[in-house]
Structure 1
Amino acid sequence: MASSIGYSLGIGSGIDTKSLIADLTAAAKGPKEALIKQREERNTAQLSTLSQVAGAIDSFATALSSLVSGGTLYSQPAVSDPTMFTAKSLAGARLGGLSAEVEVKQLAKAQSLVSTPLASATTAVGQGTLTIGVGTKTFDVVIGAGNDNLDGLARAINAAKSGVTASVITEAGSARLVLRGGVGEAQAFTLSVPDGTDSGLERFAYGPSVTGGMALTQAAQDAIVSLDGVDVKRPSNTINDLIDGVEFSLLRAEPGKTVTVGVSRPTAAIEQGVNDFVAAYNELHSMLAEATRIGTPGKGDGGVLRGDLSVREMQRQLSQLTSKVLNNGGEGPRTLADIGVATNRDGTLRVDAFRLKAALETNAEGVEALFNPGQSSSSPFVSIVSKVGKVKPGAYQLTDLVPPNGSTPGSGKVNGVAMIWSGSSLVAPAGSPALGLTVRLAEGAPATATINVDFGLGGALQAVRDSLRSRTGPFTSSQERLNAEAESIADAREKMEMRSEAYYNQLVKQFGAMESRVSAFKATQSYLEQQIKMWTAGK
Structure 2
Amino acid sequence: MASITNTGPALNSAGIGSGLDVNSIVTKLMSIEAQPVTDLQQATTKLQTKISSYGQIQSAISAMQDAARKLNTPETWAAATATSSDSSTISVAATSAAPGSYSVSVSQLASAQSLSSASYTNSSTVVGQGSITIEPGTWSSDQSTFTSKSGATPVTINIASGQDSLSAIRDQINAAKAGVTASIVTDSKGARLVLRSQSTGETSGFKVSVSDADGGDGDTAGLSALAYDPTASVASMTLNQSAANAKANINGLDIDSESNTLSTSVDGLSINLLKTSSSPITISVGSDSAGLKKNITDFVTAYNSVAKLFRDQTKYDSANKTAGALQGDSRVVGLQSQLRSLTGSSTSLGGAFSRVADIGLDPAGDGTLTLNSSKLDKALTNLTDLKQFFTGVDSSNATNNGFAQRWNKFASDTLGTDGLITTGQKALQSNVTRNNDRISQLQDHLALVEKRLRAQYTSLDTTMGKMNQLSAYVTQQFSTSSK
For this structure pair, what is the TM-score category when the shorter chain's length is used for normalisation? 0.7 to 0.9
Find the aligned partners of 1:323 and 1:261 in 2 and give their Cα distance: 42
Paired letter, 2:222: G
Paired letter, 1:164: V
Q: Return the offset for 1:514.
A: 0.7
Kept in 1, the 8 Å contact 2:60–2:305? The answer is no
Q: Return the offset for 1:246.
A: 1.6
For 1:304, what is the secondary structure of its paired residue? coil
Find the aligned partners of 2:404 and 2:126 in 1 and give their Cα distance: 62
Find the aligned partners of 1:127 and 1:466 in 2 and give their Cα distance: 72
2:86 is matched with which residue? 81
Q: Return the offset for 1:39.
A: 0.9
Give a deviation string over 1:421-442, Cα, whole Å, max 9, x none: xxxxxxxxxxxxxxxxxxxxxx
Find the aligned partners of 1:462 and 1:144 in 2 and give their Cα distance: 69
For 2:230, what is the secondary structure of its paired residue? coil
Distance of aligned partners of 1:354 and 1:166 in 2 relative to their CA distance in 1, 3 Å threshold: closer
Q: Does 1:258 align with 2:280?
A: yes
1:519 is matched with which residue? 465
Find the aligned partners of 2:41 and 2:465 in 1 and give their Cα distance: 41
Distance of aligned partners of 1:126 and 1:268 in 2 relative to their CA distance in 1, 3 Å threshold: closer
Q: Which runs of 5+ in 2 are unaligned?
A: 1-7, 137-148, 392-401
- Among candidates 198, 201, 207, match of residue 190 of structure 1: 207
2:171 is matched with which residue? 155
- Among candidates 95, 98, 102, match of residue 95 of structure 1: 98
For 1:506, what is the secondary structure of its paired residue? helix
Q: Does 1:16 align with 2:13?
A: no
Paired letter, 2:131: T
Find the aligned partners of 2:207 and 2:337 in 1 and give their Cα distance: 66
For 1:288, what is the secondary structure of its paired residue? helix
Q: Return the offset for 1:80.
A: 1.8
2:50 is matched with which residue? 46
Find the aligned partners of 2:247 and 2:253 in 1 and give their Cα distance: 10
How do 1:336-347 residues align onto structure 2 when only pairs under 5 Å count? Answer: 340=359, 344=363
2:124 is matched with which residue? 122
Paired letter, 2:312: E
How do 1:32-43 residues align onto structure 2 when only pairs under 5 Å count? Answer: 32-43=37-48
Q: Return the offset for 1:119.
A: 2.6
How do 1:235-254 residues align onto structure 2 when only pairs under 5 Å count? Answer: 235-254=258-277
Distance of aligned partners of 1:193 and 1:268 in 2 relative to their CA distance in 1, 3 Å threshold: closer
Find the aligned partners of 2:287 and 2:112 in 1 and give their Cα distance: 37
Q: Does 1:364 align with 2:383?
A: yes
Q: Return the offset for 1:226.
A: 0.9
Q: Return the offset for 1:155.
A: 1.9
Paired letter, 2:359: G
Q: Return the offset for 1:208.
A: 3.1
For 1:170, what is the secondary structure of its paired residue? strand
Find the aligned partners of 1:460 and 1:107 in 2 and give their Cα distance: 51
Kept in 2, the 8 Å contact 1:54–1:475? The answer is yes
Distance of aligned partners of 1:146 and 1:73 in 2 relative to their CA distance in 1, 3 Å threshold: same
Q: Return the offset for 1:469.
A: 7.5
Q: Return the offset for 1:281.
A: 1.6
Find the aligned partners of 2:428 and 2:207 in 1 and give their Cα distance: 69
1:277 is matched with which residue? 299
Paired letter, 1:131: T
Kept in 2, the 8 Å contact 1:184–1:222? The answer is yes
Kept in 2, the 8 Å contact 1:318–1:464? The answer is no
Find the aligned partners of 1:479 and 1:245 in 2 and give their Cα distance: 46
- Among candidates 325, 328, 334, match of residue 303 of structure 1: 325
1:529 is matched with which residue? 475
For 1:282, what is the secondary structure of its paired residue? helix
For 1:530, what is the secondary structure of its paired residue? helix
Find the aligned partners of 1:72 and 1:211 in 2 and give their Cα distance: 59
Find the aligned partners of 1:458 and 1:141 in 2 and give their Cα distance: 62
Q: Does 1:510 align with 2:448?
A: no
- Among candidates 140, 147, 150, match of residue 156 of structure 2: 140
Distance of aligned partners of 1:262 and 1:503 in 2 relative to their CA distance in 1, 3 Å threshold: same
Find the aligned partners of 1:131 and 1:305 in 2 and give their Cα distance: 81
Give a deviation string over 1:400-447, Cα, whole Å, max 9, x none: xxxxxxxxxxxxxxxxxxxxxxxxxxxxxxxxxxxxxxxxxxxxxxxx
Distance of aligned partners of 1:523 and 1:284 in 2 relative to their CA distance in 1, 3 Å threshold: same
For 2:47, what is the secondary structure of its paired residue? helix
Q: Return the offset for 1:232.
A: 0.9
Q: Return the offset for 1:57.
A: 4.8
Distance of aligned partners of 1:184 and 1:293 in 2 relative to their CA distance in 1, 3 Å threshold: farther
Find the aligned partners of 2:31 and 2:477 in 1 and give their Cα distance: 45
Give a deviation string over 1:473-519, Cα, whole Å, max 9, x none: 98777777767766665565555544444433322211111111111
Distance of aligned partners of 1:4 and 1:459 in 2 relative to their CA distance in 1, 3 Å threshold: closer
For 2:265, what is the secondary structure of its paired residue? strand
Mark the structure with the bigger radius of gyration.
2
How do 1:67-466 residues align onto structure 2 when only pairs under 5 Å count? Answer: 74-90=79-95, 93-96=96-99, 98-134=100-136, 135-136=149-150, 137=152, 138-145=154-161, 147-172=163-188, 174-181=190-197, 182-194=199-211, 198=217, 200-209=222-231, 210-254=233-277, 256-264=278-286, 267=289, 270=292, 274-275=296-297, 277-292=299-314, 300-304=322-326, 307=329, 340=359, 344=363, 348-349=368-369, 359-361=379-381, 363-364=382-383, 367=386
Kept in 1, the 8 Å contact 2:67–2:298? The answer is no
Kept in 2, the 8 Å contact 1:341–1:351? The answer is yes
For 1:260, what is the secondary structure of its paired residue? strand
Give a deviation string over 1:15-41, Cα, whole Å, max 9, x none: 322211111112211342242133124
Distance of aligned partners of 1:230 and 1:4 in 2 relative to their CA distance in 1, 3 Å threshold: closer
Find the aligned partners of 1:103 and 1:152 in 2 and give their Cα distance: 44
Kept in 2, the 8 Å contact 1:110–1:183? The answer is yes
Paired letter, 1:364: L
Kept in 2, the 8 Å contact 1:340–1:351? The answer is no
Find the aligned partners of 2:389 and 2:133 in 1 and give their Cα distance: 55
Kept in 2, the 8 Å contact 1:81–1:259? The answer is yes
The number of residues matched between the two structures is 442
TM-score normalised according to structure 1 size: 0.66
Find the aligned partners of 2:126 and 2:413 in 1 and give their Cα distance: 66
For 2:169, what is the secondary structure of its paired residue? helix
Paired letter, 2:135: G
Paired letter, 1:234: S
